[in-house]
Chains A and B, each alone.
Chain A
Amino acid sequence: MRMRTVEIGVGAFMLAGILALVVLALNVSGLNPAEQTGGYKVYARFDNIGGLTPRAKVAMSGVQIGQVKAIRIDKDMLMAEVEMEIFNDVDYLTVDSSASILTAGLLGEQYIGVVPGAEEDLLGEGDFIQDTQSALVLEELIGKFLFNKVSE
């Protein structure tokens, strides 16, 4: 076995490994270097977040403009507080924007839909979205329906 063939083979092997890792990173896990430049944090309080999880997408008109970073309970308000990271190039969210928790498809994952309002001022780092709408919880919906039926 000549050393040259061995070295060429090993080089190709290493290259294949690196290429495969890049494919895994970019294509499979959706790690986008352009998106990783960060963004600014925006918060919103919800009565009920349903099945929302960290890393869920934040979308406007269905287009992703950020992602959910963390979810915790706000101890003063006793509501769920969702921390969202909005991409830096999104500079059209006004302070009176509204956020609602929506479901993609019938069984799909939940995401936050944001609708901009009409004010002039824009949301910045650390601001709260005031106008929020909770996730649709099926049991509550059925409960309300039954309650209405009984009271009729």
Chain B
Amino acid sequence: MLDILQRLGHKALSRLAAIGRAGQLLLQSLVAAPQPLTMLPLVLKQIYFVGVLSLVIIVVSGGFIGMVLGLQGYTILVDYGSEQAVGQMVALSLVRELAPVVAALLFAGRAGSALTAEIGLMKATEQLASLEMIGVDPLRRIIAPRLWAGFICMPILAIIFAVVGIWGGSLVAVDWLGIYEGSFWANMQQSVDFYDDVVNGIIKAVCFGIVVTWIAVFEGYDCIPTSEGISQATTRTVVYSSLAVLGLDFILTALMFGEL
């Protein structure tokens, strides 16, 4: 009985300590005296790896999700004779929910896992320790550029996801199913508000970007420096950031669109 209690306590304490270390990592790498001039090339390079190379998966999945939304929305709405509302449905669900959430999940899978594995391997091969030996702060040199790159890329990816999705929806609804183009776009423009819907969606994407990148970088920096530890850390990155994104999405939606 006491053994079980002790194990529970040990788990809780180590989780708490991990959260504390994660907060420390974020604070030290972001707040501690930023050096914009030396960091800019590093951030650019990370944006390339984290953002530009994620574009393909974002664009392809955004297009398909938009097309599916158009198709599903049409088959339901046509029963009520209001198939013109497809544009509104596709745009609202993409801008408010699907673009930030799905883009964040894909981002966690594509970029987050890569970040964790890269930093974990650096730790396992003692690159981080040797950086410290020659007097370079690994938090500034390795961690901070990756964090900034993730923060910057995620909202851009979500916006691109939404636009491609809406284009995919219009492709299916207007070009294939023959909804009148004017009412498709007019319905959409009437129901989507720039500040209430688009800006709130972008705020969501910013939050998800921060959370996913933070988890990914921390898991890599905090992993057990063995090949097994790196694989576990990579798995944890994907699982934790997916859960965090979905949970946070509910909270943000309740705050933004719910009457709470």
Contacts and interface: CB of A to CB of B under 8 A. Distances in A.
B55 A13 contact: yes
A57 B190 contact: yes
Contacts of B194: 24-25, 29, 31
Interface in A1-34: 1, 3, 6-7, 9-10, 12-14, 16-17, 20-21, 23-25, 27-31
Contact of A6 (B48, B55, B153): B48
Q: Chain A: interface secondary structure?
A: helix
Interface stretch (B39-47, B207-215, B244-252): B39-47
A30 B192 contact: yes
B192 A29 contact: yes
Interface in B47-79: 47-48, 51-52, 55
A29 B156 contact: no
Residue from B41, B55, B155, B163 whose CB has the most chain A CB atoms within 10 Å: B163
A28 B190 contact: no
Interface string A54-78: 0101000000000000000000000
Contact of B156 (A6, A7, A13, A27): A13
A141 interface: no
Contacts of B156: 13-14, 16-17, 20
Contacts of B47: 10, 13
Interface string B126-164: 000000000000000000000000000101110110110
A10 B44 contact: yes
B217 interface: no
Given A21-B159, A24-B162, A6 B91 contact: no
A107 interface: yes
Contacts of B197: 29
A17 B160 CA distance: 6
A3 B192 contact: no
B159 to A, nearest CB: 4
B80 interface: yes
23 contacts: A6-B48, A10-B44, A10-B48, A13-B51, A13-B153, A16-B156, A17-B157, A20-B163, A24-B162, A28-B91, A28-B95, A28-B163, A28-B166, A28-B189, A29-B189, A29-B197, A30-B189, A55-B190, A106-B81, A107-B81, A107-B82, A108-B82, A109-B190
Interface of B: 41, 44-45, 47-48, 51-52, 55, 80-82, 91, 95, 153, 155-157, 159-160, 162-163, 166, 185, 188-190, 192-194, 197-198, 202
